[in-house]
Amino acid sequence: MLQRLARTCYRRRWRVLGFWIVLLIVLVGLNSSVGGKFLDDFDLPGSETQDAVDLLEEHGFAARTGFGGQVVFQAEDVHDPAVRSAMEDLFDEVEALIAPGEVVSPYSEQGERQVNEAGTIAYAEVNLGDRESDEYYDVGEEVRNFVSSTDVPGTQVELGGDIFVEVPEFSSEVIGFIAAIIILLIAFGSLLAMGLPIMTAVFGIVTGIALVGLAVNVIDMPSFSNQAVAMIGIGVGIDYALFIVTRYREGLHGGMGPEQATIRAIDTAGRAVLFAGCTVIVAVMGMFTIGLAMIRGLAVGISLGVLTTMLAAVTLLPAMLGFVGKNIDRLGLPHRRRAEGAQHQSVWYRWSRVIQHRPCRPW
Per DSSP, which regions of the chain are E strands? Answer: 68-74, 102-104, 121-127, 156-161
User: In terms of pLDDT, which residue wins out, 187 or 84?
Assistant: 84
**How far is the C-alpha of 304 from the C-alpha of 286, rounded, in Å?**
14
CA distance 221 to 211: 12
The answer on pLDDT for 173 being more than 90 is no
Q: What CATH class has 66-164?
A: alpha beta
Per the omega criterion (within 30 degrees of 0), is the bond before 100 cis?
yes
Examine the pLDDT at 207 and tell me if it is beyond 90: yes
Asked if pLDDT for residue 11 goes beyond 50, the answer is yes
Domain coordinates in residue numbering, the chain: 2-36+169-357, 66-164
pLDDT value at 331 more than 90 = no
Task: Calculate what percentage of the chain has a pLDDT beyond 90.
Answer: 36
Residue 160: band (very low, low, confident or very high) from pLDDT cuts 50, 70, 90: confident
**pLDDT tops 80 at residue 262:** yes
Is residue 339 over pLDDT 50?
no
Q: What is the dihedral of CA 111, 113, 118, 122, to 10 degrees?
A: -40
* Residue of 313, 195, 335 whose CA lies nearest to 265: 313
For residue 190, count other CB atoms closer than 10 A to its CB: 22
Compare 362 and 199 and report the one with higher pLDDT.
199
Q: How far apart are CA 321 and CA 10, in angstroms?
A: 7
d(CA 239, CA 273): 9
Q: How confident is the model at residue 330 (pLDDT cuts 50, 70, 90)?
A: confident
Cα 335 to the chain's mean position, in Å? Answer: 34
Tens of pLDDT, residue by residue over 44-71, are 666 666 666 667 666 555 555 567 788 9
- Map residue 44 onto helix, strand or coil: coil
Superfamily of structural domain 2-36+169-357: Multidrug efflux transporter AcrB transmembrane domain (1.20.1640.10)
The reported pLDDT for the residue numbered 29 is 93
Q: What backbone phi and psi angles, to 5 degrees, belong to 332?
A: -80, 155
Q: Can you give the pLDDT at residue 127?
A: 84
Q: Is 346 exposed, middle or buried (0-12, 13-18, 19+ CB in 10 A)?
A: exposed
Alpha-carbon dihedral 199, 204, 210, 215, rounded to 10 degrees: -170
Q: Is the pLDDT of residue 228 over 50?
A: yes
Round to whole Å and give the CA distance between 211 and 207: 6
On whether the CB atoms of residues 210 and 204 are closer than 8 A, the answer is no
75 in Cβ contact with 120 (< 8 Å): yes
Q: Mean pLDDT over residues 155-172, rounded?
A: 75
Q: Tell me the three state secondary structure of residue 145.
A: helix
> Which pLDDT value is given to residue 321?
93
Residue 208 is predicted with a pLDDT of: 94
SS3 category, 218: coil
For the residues of 102-114, what is the DSSP string, one character each? Answer: EEE-TTSSTTTTS
Q: Are 50 and 233 in contact (CB under 8 A)?
A: no
Calculate mean pLDDT across residues 73-85: 91
- Residue 308: which residues within 8 A CB-CB, separation 6 or more? 204, 205, 207, 208, 211, 233
pLDDT at residue 53 in the model: 60
Of 165, 161, 43, give the one whose Cα is nearest residue 104: 161
Q: What is the pLDDT of residue 211?
A: 94
Among 316, 305, 127, which residue's Cα sits nearest to residue 213? 305
Order across the sheet with 102-104: list the strands: 102-104, 121-127, 68-74, 156-161
Task: For the chain, give the mean pLDDT.
Answer: 83
Q: In whole angstroms, give the CA distance from residue 276 to residue 20.
A: 22
Give 112's contacts (C-beta < 8 A, 6+ positions apart).
106
Beta bridge mates, 122: 73, 115
Residue 273 pLDDT > 80:
yes
Does residue 291 have a pLDDT over 90?
A: no
Split at pLDDT 50, 70, 90, the class of 354 is confident
Same fold, 2-36+169-357 and 66-164: no
